[in-house]
Homo-oligomer: A and B are copies of this chain.
């Protein structure tokens, strides 16, 4: 461990040093994947638990009614089309043009997505896997438009949340709720099974205000070609085709990405990140100011209570 690392923010130990101007490499994962030891009364099947543990993800299907799915789709459309403050930084556009790519903090601006995030089915699964109360570290809508939707390059979310947000340990997970048909053709989520068991410490460092560019096109905190090749050779690549309403649950350190989309059919997902309340974020590990609240909940962290669930329209 270099002097630089040892001297990092507030003399905390950095268990997952990355972007420390040293070459990229694999580090050991020091944290459990499934925190719960007691799997009696598990809200998911043993197969799902095992897949999450070994591969880093699984899919929840058929947990929302058609009417609930329609409601989410309508709300997505409304948010996408809604008149907004032109300076609204929580709305991210594609690199090089003005097509909407993501809207952050949707649970904070939409009652429907707040109810999705606190849906008892989802919350029960998150609490079970993390064995703790949880809060929403981040939420967003990802729009991958048809015809000209850009890729999301390979990355571990945890790497960024750790370095730029100060999330100490791997005790968080994401749920990606399909809002349109995610087929093999329109740039579905691809995961590298087993990648969550190693931490890819990345080279380089973190530029000032990195988030302004990284949310459009990530260039720092991405694993290098040789390590990606090793992960893909070791565990393969799984693309998740999902019908609207299906939920992909994946570990915070699972390396994932998606290709672009030239099909006419947009690929849209709502993305909710649950972090363990014991794992709340501190100072970033990169000696940069914290990212804005719409990207990383910091000011108002409290255990998420079960809500009424997703409303049903029509």
Contact = CB atoms under 8 A, between A and B. Distances in A.
Contacts of A264: 225, 228-229, 232-233
Interface stretch (A18-26, A131-139, A253-261): A253-261
Given A185-B239, A237-B185, A264-B232, A225 B147 contact: yes
Contacts of A146: 225, 229
A187 interface: yes
Size class of A's contact patch? 20 to 34
19 contacts: A147-B225, A147-B228, A153-B262, A154-B262, A184-B184, A184-B185, A185-B237, A185-B239, A185-B259, A190-B262, A190-B263, A229-B264, A232-B265, A233-B264, A237-B263, A257-B262, A259-B259, A259-B260, A260-B260
Contacts of A229: 146, 264
A8 to B, nearest CB: 30
Interface string A209-241: 000000000000000010011001100010100
A54 interface: no
A184 B63 CA distance: 27
A255 B128 CA distance: 48
A75 interface: no
A261 B151 CA distance: 9
Contacts of A153: 262
B257 A259 contact: no
A237 B308 CA distance: 39
A200 to B, nearest CB: 14
B259 A187 contact: yes
Nearest to A264: B229
Interface string A261-280: 11111000000000000000
Nearest to A148: B153
A146 to B, nearest CB: 8
6 closest Cβ pairs, A-B complex: A184-B184, A229-B264, A260-B260, A259-B259, A232-B264, A185-B237
A262 B147 contact: no
Contacts of A187: 259
A229 B260 CA distance: 17
Contacts of A237: 185, 263
Contacts of A154: 262
Contacts of A147: 225, 228
A264 B190 CA distance: 12
Given A229-B264, A259-B261, A260-B260, 5 more contacts: A146-B225, A185-B237, A190-B262, A232-B264, A232-B265
Nearest to A227: B264
Contacts of A257: 262
A185 to B, nearest CB: 5
Nearest to A183: B237
A156 to B, nearest CB: 15
Contacts of A260: 151, 259-260
